Structure 1
């Protein structure tokens, strides 16, 4: 019975505190009266459901929502955090799969796949510089990477289980 009340309880407490602080006009929290804060609250509720109520499938959406909400709060405010790339989103997905794998034992391949993809997106310029890849040649290849991802996805859909 406790497990079924965890998620809605945290949502109600979090949203209630959010709206109470917003109405009270406390200037200390002025930067947090935005929609990413609501996403963070929902992410925390999913994580509480995942860890405290042992509903481990809730870990992945919890990490995604919490991570995306945090990203939108800190993007542009911290100099080291990339704000114009899809890399941080893919990295958050990878973290979610790793944390879910820790509890369920499934999703390790996806975690590593997203991690490699995120690292390539975040550090492409540095990696290309280390490898001495000519920018012009790679720019032609990079035009087709979405098609490559689609082909790999189709392969996984059509691959027969052994």
Structure 2
């Protein structure tokens, strides 16, 4: 990390506030005294590092970690929030790539790739229902789509830069 004061500063302030509120017995925020809140604090520290210190590579992990903490706080408590943890994780990865792309002009293809994957994971039932008319022909593809994802991942690992 380039500027080493932003990340630890936010972590120490966030954890200190978390512990202070927890020890004070302030009951209005009782639902926030859990590990997802710590994930949000860590994610915000990465985002602060990414934006304030121009360490743009910290944006992606910041969005993923804060998003995952947010997901665990909201899943099951807000009716419109999806309970599909894997789909939401992939969506946060996509959002992180989009935000990092804004600063680095790198990773747009991955952002869209993860967005499509997230939409497939989040709306799998709806997609399967819409494709029900073509179920015989596409059932083979739907059965092996995890293998297709693995092959795309292997391609990205071994692809040579031009």
TM-score after normalising by structure 2: 0.90
**Residue matched to 1:112:** 112
Distance 1:80-1:137 versus aligned 2 partners, 3 A rule: farther
d(CA) in 2 for partners of 1:136 and 1:20?
A: 59
**Residue matched to 1:61:** 61
SS across alignment from 1:3: coil
d(CA) in 1 for partners of 2:22 and 2:53?
A: 30
Query: Do 2:94 and 2:115's aligned partners in 1 also have CA atoms closer than 8 Å?
Result: yes
Tell me which stretches of 4 or more aligned residues in structure 1 moved more than 6 Å. Answer: none
**Residue matched to 1:41:** 41
What are the residue-to-residue correspondences of 1:1-162 with 2, within 5 Å? Answer: 3-133=3-133, 140-162=140-162
The number of residues matched between the two structures is 161
* CA displacement, residues 1-39 of structure 1 (integer Å, 9 cap, x when unaligned): x93211101100100000010000110010000000000
Single out whichever of 119-128 and 106-115 deviates more from structure 2.
119-128
d(CA) in 2 for partners of 1:138 and 1:96?
A: 31
Distance 1:139-1:78 versus aligned 2 partners, 3 A rule: farther
* CA displacement, residues 43-66 of structure 1 (integer Å, 9 cap, x when unaligned): 011111111111111111110111
RMSD across aligned positions (CA): 2.0
SS across alignment from 1:70: helix
SS across alignment from 1:4: coil
- The CA deviation at 1:136 is 7.0
d(CA) in 1 for partners of 2:160 and 2:80?
A: 43
Distance 1:61-1:160 versus aligned 2 partners, 3 A rule: closer
SS across alignment from 2:9: helix
Structure 1: which 5+ residue stretches go unaligned? none
SS across alignment from 1:147: helix
